[in-house]
Amino acid sequence: MSLKKILVCLDADPQPSVFDGVVAVDAGVDVLFRHGAVTTAQVRDLVYGAIFTRGPQELKHTAVFVGGSDVTAAEALCKAAHEAFFGPMRVSVMLDANGANTTAAAAVLAVRRHVPLSGAIVTVLAGTGAVGRRVVRLLAREGARVRVASRKLTHAEGTCDKVSRVVPGADLTAWTNENAMAVEGAQAVIACGPPGVELLPKGYLAQAVGLQAAIDLNAVPAHGLGDVAPTDKATHHGEIVCYGAIGVGGTKMKIHKAAIAKLFTRNDLVLDAEEIYAIGKEL
Amino acid sequence: MSLKKILVCLDADPQPSVFDGVVAVDAGVDVLFRHGAVTTAQVRDLVYGAIFTRGPQELKHTAVFVGGSDVTAAEALCKAAHEAFFGPMRVSVMLDANGANTTAAAAVLAVRRHVPLSGAIVTVLAGTGAVGRRVVRLLAREGARVRVASRKLTHAEGTCDKVSRVVPGADLTAWTNENAMAVEGAQAVIACGPPGVELLPKGYLAQAVGLQAAIDLNAVPAHGLGDVAPTDKATHHGEIVCYGAIGVGGTKMKIHKAAIAKLFTRNDLVLDAEEIYAIGKEL
Amino acid sequence: MSLKKILVCLDADPQPSVFDGVVAVDAGVDVLFRHGAVTTAQVRDLVYGAIFTRGPQELKHTAVFVGGSDVTAAEALCKAAHEAFFGPMRVSVMLDANGANTTAAAAVLAVRRHVPLSGAIVTVLAGTGAVGRRVVRLLAREGARVRVASRKLTHAEGTCDKVSRVVPGADLTAWTNENAMAVEGAQAVIACGPPGVELLPKGYLAQAVGLQAAIDLNAVPAHGLGDVAPTDKATHHGEIVCYGAIGVGGTKMKIHKAAIAKLFTRNDLVLDAEEIYAIGKEL
């Protein structure tokens, strides 16, 4: 008899995420241990329970998922989980708080379907948040020339700085969201702003010479890109192929499920932005 | 492969109900997401997790159950869940905090087995609590002439008022529990008082001319009706057929399980008192 | 269709134990209801949910496990669970907070493989903690002459006193850990000290004339017995057969799973130290 696949879900929010739970069930997980209001101090004992209960050959049937709405808190939980591992005593871990990794992967994959990324100029509006930073990282690793735009130039510069350290040789420049020139000459634009905040008004994209693809990850009006509807999915508006949040959502869900399934193939996987993007490329 | 049936259990109590969990498992639910200490502010995100994870044709495989011991708190959670739905993006919802709906349905069905409800005079003692109000509502919809009794006449009047608004043309009159006349001339009496509180002493019912059925929902001595034992189940005491809390319990459990099973037949059901009673009638 | 096996896990810690959860899944439990931060005041309603939902013949398919890191808190939860039962309305209960019962059983069984317990002198170092007290109890019931050692003689005397009351005629004497004589003349020694506290330094055991078996339940250096490695499993160091914490762990896990499985054979089992040890003897 094969062991049941157990996913330990760690969530800093008071209530563990129903979203992540349903996706895990649909990805084939047999048993969920859902934990809410998890603090970093509690992680060690929870992880010990995962690594000290099954034999070394069986540990791939247990995995940890770190979710919740707060990406920073989730990163701290993830770090605490890794600190509890030692030698072969570990289980695979996936981080997808607020859907940041799966969303970033789906957004970059949407662009990639239409624009060869290597050498392309891609503008990431609101590129300093949890999703934006991951989009920038993924684009940089693909060899794109990334314009990181934020409300404040110093924030954009900070993100360029951080990503440069993990992606040596990355071609990154800092811009402000409001600077219309940020999209000028770019082949693609990805808007990662928060719900309800318009970053570029309707009618703007048609004037951007050479723009081939536009992605807006904001599903709640006002939309980030006034020219893109949430349901756009490889929809052409003039010369530009567009994806809205819902249009990207199908790919995001497929990536999420594939990543969960992959967790149970080994006991030493760490699924963060790059690994999750790689899973998306193989779909 | 069919999707697993997921029930999201929302509970305002610190610990989610074991009772509701076991019944859900026995009703065929595959996976339970049990949430305790749920606040109305948390409901939207939990519901979003239920409605944004499966396709429109698949949403009937996810449902929400609102339980817990506090019926008022549960009603607020229920309302918050409905406010999070929009258009076809919804899942079926059942409310049965404190077992109020299934208990009320079972009590009225017990009377209905022996007394045609339309036009019958039925007295509901302690008719202003969570169970009592539902019993009054169900009886009123069946066309019974309902005497709503409470410790305070003003409370009884308040319940008559509220039920009249949702059941236009209902024949309701307010009484006090202590008024022995409340049962005089009634064909049935249902006692909905709290555990340990006697409403009518032993020996009383035999004197009530014309009384055919007596139901007592209080399982803990002193019983609500001194003449009815908790295990009475269609038991005759003289002319009167009697049901105690345990005698009604079997029907209550069957209704509860049937209602849970029904949740997963559509994605837009709202199972409150009337719908749950209708399910009971079909058993 | 057979009913699903439901295990209600009650845990005084803020997060319910992942360890106990995984073991339960691997022991064949179908559904876990995992509760954290459980207070004694909450136990009654949780237990009512377990005993009032299935028929008398079906109650053996529901059970309660009391775990967590705090053994004293767990004992209080256990007591509250038993107080909620009445007559045949009960489910089987297992107590294994902090692994105390399964660890104590595995330790005594390790000695028993090599030393006939009846009449044997066995020293229990740090014999006054949750594990130590249980080891003393099990040894006393097997007819061993037990030396209960603690940092403070009064603590050791207290444990002798308590165990004497539950095991009439037990042969118990109080010692201090530091007293090298505590091991002198003993056939076996079991060290039950906390992680990182050395009780007898390396080189000591070889000088103890007649010592046949040494068990150290502390896996974290400094070890309780300097001469025993955590991975020792019936390993001979000179004349002495040794078991470390990891060496005992395999038996402990087998006992834990067998005990969980046994819970579902009846609805009236109480699995505490003695019953869990008896299960271990039959493996």
pLDDT of B256 above 80: yes
- Answer whether residue A264 is part of any domain: yes
Q: Are residues B62 and B115 in the same domain?
A: no
- Average pLDDT on A236-261 reads 96
Q: Which segment of A115-129, C27-41, C45-59, C197-211 scores lowest on mean pLDDT? A: C197-211
CA-CA distances (angstroms) from residue B217 to A141, A157, B18, B156?
Answer: 68, 69, 21, 19
Determine the residue type at A188. Answer: A
Nearest to A31 among C19, C23, C25 (CB): C25
Residue B1 has pLDDT above 70, yes or no: no
Strand order in the sheet with A31-35: A31-35, A6-11, A62-67, A92-95, A270-271
Mean pLDDT of A48-54: 96
CB atoms within 10 A of CB A196: 12
Tell me, yes or no, whether C236 and C132 share the same domain.
yes
Question: Measured between CB atoms, which of C3, C46, C50 is closest to B26?
Answer: C3
Segment C81-87 mean pLDDT: 95
Q: Which residues of C touch B (CB under 8 A)?
A: 3-4, 6, 8, 31, 33, 35, 37-38, 42, 45-50, 52-54, 62
The mean predicted confidence, pLDDT, of chain B is 96
Q: What is the pLDDT of residues B127-184, one digit of tens each?
A: 999 999 999 999 999 999 999 999 999 999 999 999 999 999 999 999 998 777 899 9
Q: What is the domain extent for residue A238?
A: 103-248
| For range C70-77, the mean pLDDT | 97
% of chain C with per-residue pLDDT over 70: 100
Which distant-in-sequence residues (6+ apart) come within 8 Å of B230 by Cβ?
B216, B219, B223, B244, B245, B246, B247
pLDDT at B101: 98
Is-contact B221 B196, C-beta < 8 A?
yes
Contacts of C57 (CB under 8 A, 6+ apart): none
Residue B273 has pLDDT above 70, yes or no: yes
Of A42, A45, A53, the CB nearest to C22: A53
**B45 Cβ contact list (under 8 Å, min separation 6):** A15, A17, A18, A69
Which residue out of C25, C33, C62 would a mutagenesis test of the B interface target, given it has the greatest number of B Cβ atoms within 10 Å? C33
Cα–Cα dist B243/C238, whole Å:
75
The Cα of B250 is separated from the nearest Cα of chain A by a number of Å equal to 31
- φ, ψ of residue B176 in degrees (nearest 5): -105, 150
Q: What is the pLDDT of residues A92-123, one digit of tens each?
A: 999 999 999 999 999 999 999 999 999 999 99
Contacts of C16 in chain A (CB under 8 A): 33, 35
Closest alpha carbon within chain C to A35: C15
Give domain status of residue B1, yes or no. no
- pLDDT, residue A180, reads 75
Distance CA C59, CA C54 (A): 6
Helix (H) or strand (E) holding A32: strand A31-35
Percentage of chain A modeled with pLDDT above 90 = 91
Q: Are B101 and B272 in contact (CB under 8 A)?
A: yes
The reply to whether C1 falls in a domain is no
The domain that contains B220 carries what CATH number?
A: 3.40.50.720
Instruction: Count the neighbouring beta carbons within 10 Å of the beta carbon of residue C3.
Output: 18
Tokens standing for C155? 């603590």
Chain C residue with CA closest to A34: the answer is C34
Asked if the structure places residue B122 within a domain, the reply is yes
Q: Tell which of C11, C13, C20, C25 to mutate to test the A interface (max A CBs under 10 Å).
A: C25
Looking at the complex, report in whole angstroms how far the Cα of residue B272 sits from the nearest Cα belonging to chain A. Answer: 23
C2 pLDDT tier (thresholds 50, 70, 90): confident
Tokens of C60: 């053996």
Q: For residue C51, which residues of chain B lie inside 8 Å, CB to CB?
A: none
Neighbours of chain B (3+ CB pairs under 8 A): A, C
Catalogue the E-assigned strands of C12-164.
Answer: 31-35, 62-67, 92-95, 121-125, 145-150
Could you tell me which chain C residue has the CA closest to the CA of B18?
Answer: C49
Chains touching chain A through at least 3 C-beta pairs below 8 angstroms are: B, C
Are the beta carbons of A18 and B33 separated by less than 8 Å? yes
Phi first, then psi: what are they for A71, rounded to 5°? -65, -40
In terms of Cβ atoms closer than 10 Å to its own Cβ (0-12, 13-18, 19+), residue B29 is buried
Same domain, A203 and A276: no
Residue A1: pLDDT band (50, 70, 90) is low
Q: How confident is the model at residue A195 (pLDDT cuts 50, 70, 90)?
A: confident
Measure B174 CA to nearest chain C CA, in Å: 34
* Matching residue, tokens 């009650």: C10
State the total domains in chain C: 2
DSSP state of C246: H
Using an 8 Å CB-CB cutoff, list chain C residues near B25: 4, 6, 31
Mean model confidence pLDDT for chain A: 96
* CB spacing of C22 vs A54 below 8 angstroms: yes
Distance from CA of B143 to the nearest CA of A (A): 42
Instruction: Provide the angle, in degrees to the nearest 10, between the axes of the packed helices A273-282 and A245-263.
Output: 100
3-class DSSP string for chain B: CCCCCEEEEEECCCCCCHHHHHHHHHCCCCEEEEECCCCHHHHHHHHHHHHCCCCCCCHHHEEEEEECCCHHHHHHHHHHHHHHCECCECCEEEECHHHHHHHHHHHHHHHHCCCCCCCCEEEEECCCCHHHHHHHHHHHHCCCEEEEEECCHHHHHHHHHHHHHHCCCCEEEEEECCCHHHCCCCCEEEECCCCCCCCECCCCHHHCCCCCEEEECCCCCCCCECCCCCCCEEEEECCEEEECHHHHHHHHHHHHHHHHHHHCCCCCCEECHHHHHHHHHHC
Closest-approach residue (CA) in chain B for C48: B19
**Which sign, positive or negative, has the C-alpha torsion B278, B281, C1, C3?**
positive
- pLDDT for residue C17: 98
Q: Are residues A239 and A206 in the same domain?
A: yes
On chain A, the residues whose CB falls within 8 A of the CB of B6 are: 21-22, 25
Tokens 């008082």 found at: B193
**Chains with 3 or more CB pairs closer than 8 angstroms to C?**
A, B
Distance (Å) of CA C49 to CA A11, B34, B54:
27, 14, 31
pLDDT digits (tens, 9 = 90+) for B45-88: 999 999 999 999 999 999 999 999 999 999 999 999 999 999 99
* Residue A1 counted as domain residue: no
Tell me the chain A residues in contact with residue B52 when contact means C-beta distances shorter than 8 Å.
19
Chain A residues within an 8 Å CB radius of B53: 18-19, 22-23, 26, 253
Say if the Cβ atoms of A33 and C19 lie within 8 Å: no
Same domain, A130 and A89: no
Q: Reply yes or no on whether the pLDDT at C243 is more than 90.
A: yes
Backbone angles phi, psi at A213, to 5 degrees: -140, 140
Q: What is the DSSP letter of A201?
A: -
C16 part of a folded domain: yes
Report CB contact under 8 Å: B42, A69: no
- Residues A131 and A88 grouped into a single domain: no
The reply to whether C188 falls in a domain is yes
Which residue of B22, B32, B253 is in closest CB contact with C49?
A: B22
C1 pLDDT above the threshold of 70: no
Residue C232 has pLDDT above 90, yes or no: yes
In this prediction, does ipTM exceed 0.85? yes
Q: How far apart are CA C226 and CA C223, in angstroms?
A: 6
- Same domain, yes or no, for B40 and B72? yes
Which chain B residues are within 8 Å of A17, Cβ to Cβ? Answer: 45, 49
Cis-peptide, bond into residue B222, ω within 30° of zero = yes
A239 plus A256 within the same structural domain: no
The reply to whether C122 and C244 lie within a common domain is yes
Choose the closest CB to A42 out of C15, C26, C34: C15
Same domain, yes or no, for A77 and A173? no
CATH code of the domain covering residue A273: 3.40.50.10280
When pLDDT is averaged across residues A83-88 and rounded to a whole number, the result is: 93
Among the partner residues A3, A4, A8, nearest to C18 by beta-carbon distance: A8
Give yes or no for residue A183 having a pLDDT over 70: yes
Which residue carries 């459990």 as its tokens? B253
> CB distance B14–C48 less than 8 Å?
no
In this prediction, residues B244-256 reach a mean pLDDT of 96
pLDDT at A256 over 70: yes
The pLDDT score that the predictor gives to residue B39 is 98
Could you tell me which residues of chain C have a Cβ less than 8 Å from any Cβ in chain A? 14-23, 25-26, 32, 34, 69, 253
User: Do the chains contact at B48 and A14, CB–CB below 8 Å?
Assistant: no
- Tell me how crowded residue C225 is: count the other CB atoms within 10 A of its CB: 29
- Phi, psi for C2 (deg, rounded to 5): -75, 145
Contacts of A4 in chain C (CB under 8 A): 25-26
Query: Do A121 and A187 touch, CB atoms closer than 8 A?
Result: yes
C121-125 vs C145-150, strand pairing mode: parallel
H or E element at residue A87: none
**How many Å apart are CA A219 and CA B229, to the nearest integer?**
59
Q: Is the pLDDT of residue A270 over 70?
A: yes
Neighbours of C31 (CB within 10 A): 21
Residues A113 and A233 in one domain: yes
pTM for this prediction: 0.96
Q: How many CB pairs under 8 A join A and C?
A: 47
Q: Is A227's pLDDT higher than 80?
A: yes
| Per-residue model confidence as pLDDT tens digits over C95-130 | 999 999 999 999 999 999 999 999 999 999 999 999
Cβ(B53)–Cβ(A23) under 8 Å?
yes
If pLDDT is split at 50, 70 and 90, which confidence band does A166 have? very high
Residues A240 and A266 in one domain: no
